[in-house]
Amino acid sequence: MQLYICVKHVPDSAANITIVEKNRIDENLTFLLNPYDEHAVTEAVRIKDNLPGSEIIAVCLGKDDAEKTLRSALAMGADRGLLIASDKNHDSIETAQALKAAIEQDGNPGLIFTGKESIDAEGMQTMFRIGALFDFPVATNVVRLDIESGRAVVDSALSGGTANTYELSFPCVIGAGRGLNTPRYPTFPDVVKSKKKPVKKIAFPDLKIEPSTAGMNIVELEPLLQSRDPKEITGDAGEIAETIMRILKDEAKVI
């Protein structure tokens, strides 16, 4: 079975993000493999170990520098990579079209993995768009995946600690959630071996994607400003505890 993993080259969440020209960020910072995609790669490796003869292909749309992210996926266990090279920033519509075209040109997917979202845009749309383009079933925020009798059985996490269980026929698209596994971080020998694994570069125009009549553009970016209004809680221990419980229940709404 061919297992494709759609990975994204994203800014490090610990980086200091600077907005320039209102609608883009200064890219002179550290980029890395999207953390949710690490769970996708790890799960693909687990499945490959249980399905001898399977192959893992990591696919990424991005600038030339995105090859570093593909190398990270290769170090974690992917067999080879596909880099769809483009200097533009693409919305989820074009991204899904490009990923679908590259995968179709390359092989015959049995499973397509993504992370449940990217930590930069947090759009949570790409896996559904890929599924729609291929006409494959999709499950996202997957926290359990079993292969049973030629189908995928998944638990898809919901809010409040609950989950729905679905049976998906192959081929299908899986959006990996944080609870799916513990990422398999590479050792130094893994990193060395990854440098010898093949990465095929495909120019975005060569995919000959028909322009979509729909699309999204970033009009303006604004930094998130969190306002804080500290209040002193007074009284004896019981009164303080009662006030804290009321705040958590009625204001913060976390209990």
| DSSP per residue, 228-243 | -------S-HHHHHHH
Tens of pLDDT along 32-66?
Answer: 999 999 999 999 999 999 998 999 999 999 999 99
Work out the end-to-end distance of the chain between its first and last CA atoms, rounded to an integer number of angstroms: 45
Token code pair at residue 14: 């610990």
Contact 141, 127 (CB under 8 A): no
What domains can you pick out in the chain, each with its CATH number? 2-207 (3.40.50.620)
The pairs formed by 157-166 with CB atoms below 8 angstroms and a separation of 24 or more are: 166/137, 166/139
DSSP string, 22-51: TTEE---S-EEE-HHHHHHHHHHHHHHHHS
- Average pLDDT taken over every residue of the chain: 91
Tens of pLDDT along 70-81?
Answer: 999 999 999 999
Helix (H) or strand (E) holding 167: strand 163-169
pLDDT at residue 219 is higher than 90: no
Model confidence, pTM:
0.84
Tens of pLDDT along 137-178?
Answer: 999 999 999 998 889 999 999 987 889 999 999 999 999 999
For 91-126, b where at least 16 C-beta lie within 10 A, e where not — what string? bbbbbbbbbbbbbeebeebbbbbbbbbbbebeebbb
CA-wise closest residue to 104 among 116, 94, 96 = 96
